[in-house]
Amino acid sequence: MKLKGFLYGILSAVFFGSAGIFIKHGYEENFSPVDLLMLQYIIAGVILLIYSLIKYRNNIKLSKELYKKLFIQGAIFNTLMTVFFYSSFKYLDVAVATILLYTYPTMVALFSFIFLRERLSKIKLFAIAGTLFGCYLVLNIHNVSLDKGFIIGVLFGLLSAIFYAGLNIYAKYIVEDVPEILVTFYSTTFSLLVLLIFNFTFILKLSSVSLTSVKNAALLAVFCEIIPLTLLYAAIKYVGPVTTSIISTIEIPSAAILSFIFMGERLNIIQVIGIILVIFCVILLKRDE
């Protein structure tokens, strides 16, 4: 079972790493990253509903307690993580936005220290400092102009990390009782409902959406949501959230390599060192936990 969990975690990270490519090409001036995300949720929701009715017809109805948990997972953690993550691609390169998402273990440690009064070991302090320094190198702050767009992108990236931490931790209390594909279906559905409330003008844009946006939303729905999210929940079920989060750091080099191959984005040697440092510190931090 552990081997299966490791394999699911690796595949999930690689699929997630490809998200930036589709997001970068999927939105237009009048069709924002959030609009693209909502179109992706509609496509994914339809596919997941059909599959769930075929595969889990007798299990699709859940208890009120599980619906409550899935609503929190989808409407809060999944929605805010993806909205901020997708929005960060509007201002940052794929690899940079991805590295910011993976500051989430550091944030968990810091929040535990500040709000829960948990002591920080020397290893955790080193890992936190190393992660922050690695991000500094990746962001290449000393060589870029700190304009408004760059600052907004960094802020969105860090906010996505906060809610990604919550998504991973909270999933542990759901996957033991609900099949992974149903967790993906309900969290996607609740995310879409919340986004429709706050972005209801999206409905008016559907009639003029381009074929390119529809194609990229469909690819995101299948390869960057249904497959990787289901694999992520399966990995958490078999090896737990801590081990899964360590494995998922593979998404960082995956995103960098894929963005170089398909989009021509380049990283200098200092940024590569920063990525390696962040991956090392995240693994160190999670092993210490």
pLDDT higher than threshold 90 for residue 193: yes
pLDDT in tens, 89-101: 888 888 888 888 8
All residues at 6 or more sequence positions from 221 whose CB lies less than 8 Å from its CB, including other chains: 40, 41, 43, 44, 47
Domain boundaries, the chain: 2-288
What is residue 31's three-state secondary structure?
strand
Average pLDDT, the chain: 83
Question: What is the value of pTM for the model shown?
Answer: 0.80
* Confidence at 44, pLDDT banded by 50, 70, 90: very high
Distances (CA, A) of 35 to 41, 44, 198, 214: 10, 14, 11, 11
Quote the pLDDT of residue 190: 94
- In this structure, the number of other CB atoms found within 10 A of the CB of residue 59 comes to 11
pLDDT higher than threshold 90 for residue 232: no
